[in-house]
Structure 1
Amino acid sequence: MTKTCVTAQVMKHTVLAGDVWELVVAAPEIASITRPGQFVHIRLTDTIDPLLRRPFSIADCDTAKGTLTFIYRVVGRGTALMTKLQPGDTINCMGPLGNGFDVTAKRPLLVGGGMGLAPLLLLARAFCSRPATILMGGRNEQELFWPNLYATVCQNIHITSDDGSIGHHGFTVDLLPELLKQDKFDAIYACGPHVMLKGVAAVAAQYDVPCQVSLEDYMACGVGACLSCTCENTSGKRHKVCTDGPVFWAQEVVW
């Protein structure tokens, strides 16, 4: 796996909704070799607190401009400090890390929940010649700002919300069987909370549709050395999410 460590300049940093931010940085060395589903390990360059890097999925990549886009939610000290970044500031990026999605499907269905929709955006762009359908879910209308981001890269957008304030009232897994009955999708790609992924994997198996999942996990080193992000596979061994994943075939994971 090819990766590099670079100092990246902040080009754009804006609030998308509530505590969710979009960060665009110039990192042509990484952008040129990025695949959908991979991530970058980020360290702020002007402090050693927090000491450890933080993993961020790559939400978009422009190889012509040499930029990477990250969409993140403020959840702790590290991301709170990141919100202070201004255009012209720099961060240290190591990546691209991990294994990405298989992009050979002809009729792809993307399923994302919450911040799990971030890495699926670049995947949707990879299917531009055969536009993907996406099923997206969130807690409420405020969290579901994503349709505007996906509008240019997805053929059909289906929305669910936990509280019914937008789209279908319920969870993404509730609506998934209906979509699989309506269309002949040849692959499902999912990212989101573990409970959602477990449900998507079960429905995919029921309808005999190949399914890849991107696992979200806490990581320390990001390169497979610390073993802090392992998960059990169906052969009884342990996968390292950072290097064996974060993308796995659903049947490889013990749910």
Structure 2
Amino acid sequence: MQNKKVGLDVYRMELFAPDVAAQARPGQFLHVSVHTKGRGSDCYDPLLRRPLSVHGVDVKRGAVALLYRVVGRGTALLARVKEGELLDVLGPLGRGFSLPPAGSRVVLVAGGMGVAPLYFLAEELLRFGHEVHFLAGARRLEELYLLGDLLALEEKRPSFKPSFATDDGSYGFCGPVTGLLEVLLAAVKVDRAYACGPRQMLREAAGVLARFGVPGEVSLEERMGCGVGACLSCACRVREAGGFSYRRVCADGPVFAAESVDWEDR
């Protein structure tokens, strides 16, 4: 297992988990225990696991990659895990992205750490011969995670076309990544879109896709308790024929059709 810092408070962890690697699909996640065992045999702190998107897999090596940013005590503890240590994980969990018909042109829209699951999706789409436009956005250049990886992938795969946006204009398009999405859709016919990032970004992306008539899927980021659909702490409201209903992000998602999410439910 490896756990290396790869950006501003961002780490890439690689786990040896052959069964997980064989089963994981883009958009699914692992529920990772980050607790430090206390003095009592039944004392664990922090208690709740952290949901981390599957960032990549290597089936031959039995490896699963996770990309995460240190934002609190749990992820800070995770960043201190050393090579050779064991981690308690559940997964792969959740409903992942659905792949488009053969020969599709797709666009992936990543906001901040939303790049983590979408990189895995991009690799899978390229493996099946799709043309992939990858839009990555951040507040500033230092927060464009995986910039080097995306540019390197462009050099290896002509059908992979990355573009970048920063709010302060320090790299690429000046403005939100949803603005870059509008520019792309106005110039290129796209068959399907996928997005992951902060809720406000996803809401704006869903609006852009609706205006251009492009079907899309979004991966929602929610706080989770159990991760398997029992506690209902991650419920979100979705539109259905004749009204609304609630779905569990951990078990029924985290991927949903962009047009089905009730973006006003907050």
| TM-score, structure 2 normalization | 0.89
Q: Which residue of 2 aligns with 1:43?
A: 33
* 1:33 and 2:23 aligned: yes
Deviations 1:43-81 (A, max 9, x none): 147522111111000011111111111110111111111
Specify the alignment match of 1:188 in structure 2: 193
What is the alpha-carbon distance in structure 1 between the residues aligned to residue 54 and residue 99 of structure 2?
16
User: Structure 2 unaligned runs (5+)?
Assistant: 38-43, 155-159
Residue 101 (structure 1) aligned with residue 97 (structure 2): yes
Residue 164 of structure 1 is aligned with which of 163, 169, 179? 169
Q: Say yes or no: does 1:139 pair with 2:139.
A: yes
Aligned equivalent of 1:66, options 62, 67, 72 = 62
Partner of 1:248: 256
Structure 2 match to 1:222: 227
Residue 153 of structure 1: CA displacement?
4.3
- Kindly state the Cα deviation for residue 252 of structure 1 after the two structures are TM-superposed: 1.1
1:3 alignment counterpart: none
Identity %: 43
Q: Deviations over 1:84-124 (max 9, x none)?
A: 11110110110000000011251110000001110001000
Give the Å deviation of 1:38: 0.2
CA–CA distance in 2 between the matches of 1:208 and 1:193? Answer: 22
Which residue does the alignment assign to 1:56?
A: 52
- Counterpart pick for 2:4 among 14, 22, 38: 14
Distance 2:153 2:232 in 1: 36
How many residues are matched? 245
| Residue of structure 2 equivalent to 1:119 | 117
Q: Distance in 2 between matches of 1:187 and 1:78?
A: 35
The separation in 2 between residues aligned to 1:98 and 1:38, in whole angstroms, is: 5
Sort the Cα spacing of 1:183 and 1:23 in 2 relative to 1 into closer, same or farther, 3 A: same
The one-letter code matched in structure 1 to 2:111 is G
Looking at structure 2, the residues matched to 55 and 191 of structure 1 have their Cα atoms a distance apart, in angstroms, of 14
Query: For structure 1, which segment, 154-163 or 32-41, has the greater mean C-alpha deviation from structure 2 after superposition?
Result: 154-163
Q: In the alignment, what sits opposite 1:110?
A: 108
Amino acid at match of 1:239: R
- Report the 3-state secondary structure (helix = DSSP H, G, I; strand = E; otherwise coil) of the residue aligned with 1:225: coil
Q: Which runs of 5+ in 1 are unaligned?
A: 1-10
Deviates more, 1:46-55 or 1:118-127: 46-55
Give the Cα separation in 1 of the matches to 2:28 and 2:202: 18
The question of 1:238 aligning with 2:246 is answered yes
2:72 corresponds to which letter in structure 1?
G
SS of the residue corresponding to residue 119 of structure 1 reads: helix
Partner SS state of residue 130, structure 2: coil
Work out whether residues 124 and 131 of structure 1, in 8 Å CA contact, stay in contact via their aligned partners in 2: no
In 1, Cα distance between equivalents of 2:35 and 2:201: 35
Offset of 1:151 from its aligned partner? 3.2
Please give the TM-score of this superposition, normalised by the length of structure 1. 0.93
Q: Which amino acid aligns with 1:58?
A: V
User: Which amino acid in the other structure matches residue 109 of structure 2?
Assistant: V
